[in-house]
A = this chain, B = another copy of it.
Amino acid sequence: MDRIRRNQRLSAMLQLLSESPNKIFTLSHFCDLFGTAKSTMSEDIDILRDIVQDFDLGEIETMTGAAGGVRYRPTMKKAAAREYITRLAAELSGPERVLPGGFLYNSDILSSPDITRKMGRILATAYYEENPDFVLTMETKGIPVALATAEALGVPLVIARHSSKAYEGSAVNINYVSGSSGQIQTMALARRAVREGGRALIVDDFLKGGGTAEGMVDLMREFNVTVVGMAFVMAADLPDQHRQLEARALMTLSIEKGRGGATAVVKPAEWLLT
């Protein structure tokens, strides 16, 4: 490769940083890759910091000292998050998405990569300071958002199952009462999936009765894991229970029944509005 000019270096470096979110790269790593001096590299990083700031692409931080280096976090500013979630809530509102039984159809939203990536950025932004070691979700609908959150945080995703599978090996099983149905259900997680003593961020698609969420907390206790937070795409409008769980949702949902049939009222969560 010919001598690399600054504009090439900057673009490539930002791309490499953003392909490994929240990972610390040493300055020497980039100096070696691009054949530049440390002083030049420091200037480059200053320029990049301004770029991601100006275009709301996230944050670039430099750390000094022995564990020093540079890292990129795909954070989203509160104003941008509020605007995005407000638009999404409007899209989910109305009578068209209400299914028989008073459920909201949102599977398309929950598995659209461009949407889950944005939701993952918003949730990760709220939990970087908690330093989770992994994200935990319960199959199935929350997996894409949980993966996107884990990706932004730069940590693995762990998926709890409804039953233990032969192809996951020995597992820890717990029973929990589903808050919405009142029935006893099982949650299983392979022993190998989680290291003892770690920190988990729980991410799931929907918080209603809170039974599944409490089950996940119980499950983590079996692994001696600290739950640093619980985040949901949507929560039913039951504020008291949520406060007890210290859970955070992006949106609240209530299904309202009128003369013309049921309609979904979806609103951005309060913490995004303040």
Which A residues contact B (CB, under 8 angstroms)?
A: 1, 6-8, 10-12, 14-16, 18-20, 47-48, 50-52, 54-55, 57, 99-101, 103-105, 107-108, 111-114, 116-117, 139-141, 143-144, 147, 150-151, 154, 156-159, 161, 166-170, 190, 192-193
Residues of B within 8 Å of A140, CB to CB, are 139-140, 143, 159, 161
- Whether the Cβ atoms of A50 and B8 lie closer than 8 Å is yes
How far is it, in angstroms, between the C-alpha of A19 and the C-alpha of B7 when the chains are bound?
Answer: 19
Taken together, the copies of this chain in the complex come to 2
A51: contacting residue among B8, B51, B167, CB under 8 A: B8
Shortest Cβ gap from A243 to chain B (Å): 25
- Whether the Cβ atoms of A144 and B157 lie closer than 8 Å is yes
- Whether the Cβ atoms of B57 and A15 lie closer than 8 Å is yes
Q: A47-B7, A140-B161, A166-B101 are in contact. Are A192 and B147 (CB under 8 A)?
A: no
> Of A107, A117, A144, which is in contact with the most chain B CB atoms at under 10 Å from its CB?
A107
Shortest Cβ gap from A169 to chain B (Å): 4
- Whether the Cβ atoms of B193 and A15 lie closer than 8 Å is no
Shortest Cβ gap from A12 to chain B (Å): 5
A157: contacting residue among B15, B112, B151, CB under 8 A: B112
Residues of B within 8 Å of A1, CB to CB, are 54
- Whether the Cβ atoms of B158 and A105 lie closer than 8 Å is no
Shortest Cβ gap from A193 to chain B (Å): 6
- Whether the Cβ atoms of B10 and A105 lie closer than 8 Å is no
- Whether the Cβ atoms of A51 and B99 lie closer than 8 Å is no
Q: A12-B55, A20-B114, A54-B1 are in contact. Are A193 and B108 (CB under 8 A)?
A: yes
Residues of B within 8 Å of A141, CB to CB, are 159
A100: contacting residue among B117, B169, B193, CB under 8 A: B169
Residues of B within 8 Å of A170, CB to CB, are 100
Q: A7-B6, A192-B108 are in contact. Are A113 and B14 (CB under 8 A)?
A: no
- Whether the Cβ atoms of B111 and A157 lie closer than 8 Å is yes
Q: A105-B190, A105-B192, A157-B111 are in contact. Are A99 and B8 (CB under 8 A)?
A: no
Residues of B within 8 Å of A154, CB to CB, are 113-114
